[in-house]
Amino acid sequence: MKKIDSIYIIDDDPITVFGMQKMLSLAVDCPQVESFVNGKTAIEEIKKNHESTGKLPEVIFLDLNMPIMDGWQFLDEFLKIPTSEKIRVNIITSSIDLHDKEKWELYQKKTHHVIDYNEKPLYKAEVARITKKA
Amino acid sequence: MSKGSEIADHKYLIKQLPTATAFVNTDFELVYASDKWLTQHNQSPCDAFGKRIDYLYHTNNQLVNTLSNCINDKVDRTFEECKYDPSGKKWFEWHCNPWLDSKENVIGLIIRTEDVTQLKLSEINLGRLRSKLDIISEIGKIGSWEYDLIADKVIWCGVTRKIHEVDSEFEPSLEEGVAFYKEGYSKNLISMAVHDALTKGKSYSEKLQIITAKGNEIWVQANGTPVYEDNKIVALRGTFQDINDKVKSEHKTKANETLLRTLIDNLPLNIYIKDKESRKILVNKAECDYLGISDANEILGKNNFELYDKDIAEALNQEDQQVMDTLVPILNKESRIRNKNGETTTFLISKIPLKDEFGKANGIVGISHDITRLKQNEAKLKDLVNVASLQNKKLVNFAHIVSHNLRSHTANFSMLLEFLVDEKDEEEKQNIIGMLTNASNNLMETLENLNEVVAINTNVGLEKKPIVLREKIEVVEQNLSAFLQGHNATIINNVPLDAIIKVVPAYIESILMNFITNAVKYSDPKRPPLVKLSCRKTAGATILSIEDNGLGIDLKKYGDKLFGMYKTFHNHKDSRGIGLYITKNQIESMNGRVVVCSEVGTGTTFNIYFNEED
């Protein structure tokens, strides 16, 4: 089983978070799977950890439509964090808006991190495939 | 009586003859002459007698031959001789008779001469006039004719024959002459005219058609005048002119003119010509219609100031002058022109300079295309396109919302079901089923919300009624009294009683309720909530302002999402993210709009524009 140090799930829908956690537990060996209800709480935690330990989560599952701070706003902040580490961000969305896909392509170009785009629903096999180090 | 005295007697007698008479012997020597003869031929009696007459006459042998013949043949001769004399050329008519003695022997000639210079000159003049007339007649295609009533004979001149295309010997009868005229109007008219001329002495001059001998149909000018003798009409005389080319070109010009006039009168364009001083000298029917007159003469000669208000007239004058000064036409310029009745028309105006033979402008041709209707339709169409594209945008947006919301729920179902199938642990199974129930409830709620939005947007035509805004606020305040008291909130209703707006009553209550509860819900914990409502009127809209002292919203971050569906910006347990979305839809369905301004930590103001016009 793959081993990942730290995974963050950012989604305001508790059912999705529950499902993700369940599928991850089957797919990878990860001691730290944390969830956040919006981008704001997530970025605050990430920044705090980065400042104190210099570490970032290895894989992030990111919803786009969230209150307070949505997925794009989270990415804006996250990409500003100065790091040479390569993080994998899996966008998970139920949006079929073409603009979101175009936006994703734009973000891909301006970062060294790996940003992946996935439409809901996700199944175990897919989760296993995209849960890996960048 | 002696012979000598006899001769002297003769001489004296002859000298006194009243005619110019000379007697010559067979050698043509002058024997006797009357004083008249001597004067006529500028001879003095002392020099002339005994001299040969031909010498006296400074003339040629022809004369001698003639005189000899006269003597030899014993016959009378009359002939003309001309001679040059200091006063010019002179003609004489010579009458020669043989001079016989008592035994009938020819002893000479008796010559009587007559000065015919005047007659001769007249004859020459007449000849000249005749040939002149012939030339004029030939060039002008003017022939002459005469009808001799007594002899019942018609005489045509050469040109008249030529016009009729008959040969040079042709001599018609009166009936045959008339027969050349074209059947119908021409023939009837000429028959009447000739009849009237013969019976009543009326002259005529008519433009008629004949058919020539070769079958060509041509226009002629036929004139006729009676000729009187002893107060009786004895003849008709007249001219006959070929005016076919003239009439044809006249007809052509007239046809062209008619064509042009028909064209400009029926073009759906206003056409006019103005002179140097911008006075209208030609207008077509469309221009008359535009200026509200039935007869073009009412505006011909009028300038811009007589047809338009001062400001418009000045602008028009300047434009006209510019075209005439620069000779550069104005083409398809869009202009709004107000007439004296205050009605404004939008025209596409063209002004083209009219040049004289020196290339300078002495007027302009104006063509104006009334595009008022087109403009109105264009504006309507633009509005329609705007509405349609707005609707389309909203629809696409809504489709995304629906899709997103349904997909997120169905995605959950699908995921949870996958777990349920594989799950062995009974407790976990119950947990998953609990979540499925939750997901199902969420889906139901979402569908209800979406249904509400659809209802608002499909009920755009819902009847609007005038309501007193202040009273509506009071009702909502009443309904919310427990909620307001619970939050220690104060409502200040500054809306005047006379503020009346046309709205869907159910919507206005929902709108007020939403804004007021939001204002209280997102109040700053540091101070008791205060909501101020005021109202003002602008052109075309009544604006309701709802101002609170709450948390405020960072519009830079959330401005574009504020009215989105399922967007919340505060960590509040009651935030559903649907209220403002529905409120906005309700306002827009009544042709209104909502604008927000806010400062974090100070408060938020929503300005709601109610469109009163519709």
B398 Cβ under 8 Å from any chain A Cβ? no
Spatial distance between the Cα atoms of B602 and B142, rounded to a whole number of angstroms? 110
Look at residue B574 in the predicted model and tell me its pLDDT: 54
B6-10, B214-218, B381-385, B538-542, range with the lowest pLDDT: B6-10
Spatial distance between the Cα atoms of A128 and B161, rounded to a whole number of angstroms? 121
**Residue B365: exposure state from Cβ atoms within 10 A (0-12, 13-18, ≥19):** middle
Higher pLDDT, B103 or B458: B103
What three-state secondary structure class fits B438? helix
pLDDT band at B404 (very low <50, low <70, confident <90, very high): confident
Look at residue A44 in the predicted model and tell me its pLDDT: 94
**Short-list B579, B611, B562, CA closest to B515:** B579
B418 Cβ under 8 Å from any chain A Cβ? yes
Cα B452 off chain centre by? 62
Q: Which amino acid is at B361?
A: A
Higher pLDDT, B556 or B477: B477
Cα B294 off chain centre by? 16
**The token pair that represents B301 in the structure block:** 């000669």
Section B120-139 average pLDDT = 86
Q: Looking at CA atoms only, how far is residue B414 from chain A in angstroms?
A: 7
b/e burial code for range B36-46 (CB count within 10 A of at least 16 → b): bbbebbebeee
Averaged confidence pLDDT in chain B: 87
Radius of gyration (C-alpha) of chain A in whole angstroms: 14
**The token pair that represents B552 in the structure block:** 């405020």
pLDDT per position as a tens digit, B185-194 = 999 999 999 9
Question: Which CATH architecture describes the domain B465-611?
Answer: 2-Layer Sandwich (3.30)
Tell me the CA distances in angstroms from B344 to B80, B348, B371, B373, B556, one per residue in order: 95, 13, 11, 12, 45
Q: Looking at CA atoms only, how far is residue B605 from chain A in angstroms?
A: 20
Which residue intervals of chain B bear CATH 3.30.565.10? 465-611
B557 Cβ under 8 Å from any chain A Cβ? yes
Instruction: Tell me which chain A residues have a C-beta less than 8 angstroms from the C-beta of B571.
Output: 68
Overall residue count recorded for chain B in this entry: 614
Spatial distance between the Cα atoms of B504 and B525, rounded to a whole number of angstroms? 35
Residue B1 has pLDDT above 50, yes or no: no
**Short-list B412, B442, B408, CA closest to A19:** B412
B74-78, B126-130, B248-252, B610-614, range with the lowest pLDDT: B610-614
A82-86, B261-265, B403-407, B443-447, range with the lowest pLDDT: B403-407
B16 Cβ under 8 Å from any chain A Cβ? no
- Cβ–Cβ gap A68/B415 under 8 Å: no
pLDDT band at B182 (very low <50, low <70, confident <90, very high): very high
Residue B320 has pLDDT above 90, yes or no: yes
Instruction: Tell me which chain A residues have a C-beta less than 8 angstroms from the C-beta of B412.
Output: 13, 15-16, 19, 121
Instruction: Give the DSSP H/E element, type plus range, for residue A23.
Output: helix A14-27
Fold of A2-130: Rossmann fold (3.40.50)
Look at residue B222 in the predicted model and tell me its pLDDT: 93
Residue B78 has pLDDT above 50, yes or no: yes
Q: Give strand ranges (E) for B326-460.
A: 330-338, 344-355, 361-370
Tell me which residue in B403, B407, B412 faces A15 most closely, judged by beta carbons.
B412
Spatial distance between the Cα atoms of B143 and B242, rounded to a whole number of angstroms? 8
pLDDT per position as a tens digit, B277-294 = 999 999 999 888 888 888
DSSP notation for B20-89: -EEEEETT-BEEEE-HHHHHHTT--HHHHTTSBHHHHTT--HHHHHHHHHHHHHT--EEEEEEEEETTEE
Q: What angle do CA B227, B229, B235 make, to 5 degrees?
A: 35
Q: Note whether B143 and B168 are within 8 A (CB).
A: no
Instruction: Tell me which chain A residues have a C-beta less than 8 angstroms from the C-beta of B566.
Output: 65, 67
Instruction: Tell me which chain A residues have a C-beta less than 8 angstroms from the C-beta of B429.
Output: none
Q: Note whether B339 and B308 are within 8 A (CB).
A: yes
- Cβ–Cβ gap A97/B404 under 8 Å: yes
What percent of chain B has a predicted confidence (pLDDT) above 90? 36
Tell me which residue in A16, A68, A119 faces B569 most closely, judged by beta carbons.
A68
B71-75, B169-173, B312-316, B548-552, range with the lowest pLDDT: B71-75
What three-state secondary structure class fits B165? coil
Question: Going by DSSP bridges, is the β-strand pair A88-93/A114-119 parallel, antiparallel, or unpaired?
Answer: parallel
Look at residue B66 in the predicted model and tell me its pLDDT: 83
Q: Give me the helices (H) in B150-302, please.
A: 158-164, 174-179, 185-200, 244-266, 285-291
A7-16, A57-66, B403-412, range with the lowest pLDDT: B403-412
Section B469-492 average pLDDT = 90
Q: Looking at CA atoms only, how far is residue A66 from chain B in angstroms?
A: 7
What percent of chain B has a predicted confidence (pLDDT) above 70? 95
Q: Which amino acid is at B362?
A: N
- Cβ–Cβ gap A68/B403 under 8 Å: no
Question: Going by DSSP bridges, is the β-strand pair B530-538/B500-503 parallel, antiparallel, or unpaired?
Answer: unpaired
Residue B154 dihedral angles phi and psi, to the nearest 5°: -105, 135
Q: Note whether B178 and B210 are within 8 A (CB).
A: no
Q: How many CB atoms lie within 10 A of CB B240?
A: 24
0.80 exceeded by the pTM? no
Instruction: Tell me which chain B residues have a C-beta less than 8 angstroms from the C-beta of A19.
Output: 412, 415-416, 419
CATH class of B140-248: alpha beta
CATH class of B262-370: alpha beta
Give the single-character DSSP code of B298. Answer: G
Look at residue B612 in the predicted model and tell me its pLDDT: 62
Residue B539 has pLDDT above 60, yes or no: yes
pLDDT per position as a tens digit, B38-49 = 888 888 877 888
Q: Looking at CA atoms only, how far is residue A50 from chain B in angstroms?
A: 25
Name the CATH code of domain B376-458 (choices 2.40.50, 1.10.287, 1.20.1050, 1.20.140): 1.10.287
Section B80-107 average pLDDT = 84
Radius of gyration (C-alpha) of chain B in whole angstroms: 61
Spatial distance between the Cα atoms of B61 and A131, rounded to a whole number of angstroms? 155
pLDDT per position as a tens digit, B210-231 = 999 999 999 999 999 999 998 8
pLDDT per position as a tens digit, A26-38 = 888 888 999 998 8
Q: Looking at CA atoms only, how far is residue A38 from chain B in angstroms?
A: 10
Look at residue B14 in the predicted model and tell me its pLDDT: 86
Give the single-character DSSP code of B463. Answer: P
Question: Which CATH architecture describes the domain B3-119?
Answer: 2-Layer Sandwich (3.30)
Tell me which residue in A95, A96, A121 faces B415 most closely, judged by beta carbons.
A121
Which residue intervals of chain B bear CATH 1.10.287? 376-458
Look at residue B214 in the predicted model and tell me its pLDDT: 94
A3-7, A9-13, B83-87, B236-240, range with the lowest pLDDT: B83-87
B218-232, B466-480, B548-562, range with the lowest pLDDT: B548-562
Q: Name the residue ranges covered by the structural domains of chain A.
A: 2-130
Look at residue B614 in the predicted model and tell me its pLDDT: 47
Look at residue A61 in the predicted model and tell me its pLDDT: 95
Look at residue B334 in the predicted model and tell me its pLDDT: 93
Residue B352 has pLDDT above 90, yes or no: yes
Cα B485 off chain centre by? 80
pLDDT per position as a tens digit, A69-121 = 889 999 999 999 999 899 999 999 887 778 888 999 999 998 999 999 998 88
Look at residue B49 in the predicted model and tell me its pLDDT: 84
B415 Cβ under 8 Å from any chain A Cβ? yes
Section B433-437 average pLDDT = 90
Q: Note whether B34 and B14 are within 8 A (CB).
A: yes
Cα B90 off chain centre by? 70
The torsion defined by the Cα of B30, B36, B40 and B41, in degrees rounded to 10, comes to: 20
b/e burial code for range B170-204 (CB count within 10 A of at least 16 → b): eebeeeebbebbbeeebbebbeebbeebbeeeeeb
Residue B570 has pLDDT above 80, yes or no: no
Tell which of B412, B428, B565, B600 to mutate to test the A interface (max A CBs under 10 Å).
B412
Q: Note whether B532 and B492 are within 8 A (CB).
A: yes
Look at residue B85 in the predicted model and tell me its pLDDT: 72
Residue A6 has pLDDT above 70, yes or no: yes
Q: Which amino acid is at B388?
A: A
Tell me the CA distances in angstroms from B394 to B336, B400, B462, one per residue in order: 37, 10, 19
Q: At what angle do helices B505-521 and B469-479 cross, to 10 degrees?
A: 50
Higher pLDDT, B268 or B351: B351
Residue B349 has pLDDT above 90, yes or no: yes
pLDDT band at B271 (very low <50, low <70, confident <90, very high): very high
B240-244, B263-267, B453-457, range with the lowest pLDDT: B453-457
B577 Cβ under 8 Å from any chain A Cβ? yes
Residue A1 has pLDDT above 70, yes or no: yes
Q: Looking at CA atoms only, how far is residue A13 from chain B in angstroms?
A: 9
**Short-list B292, B295, B316, CA closest to B304:** B316
**The token pair that represents B258 in the structure block:** 């008619």
Q: Note whether A100 and A120 are within 8 A (CB).
A: no
Section B104-126 average pLDDT = 89
Spatial distance between the Cα atoms of B586 and B510, rounded to a whole number of angstroms? 9
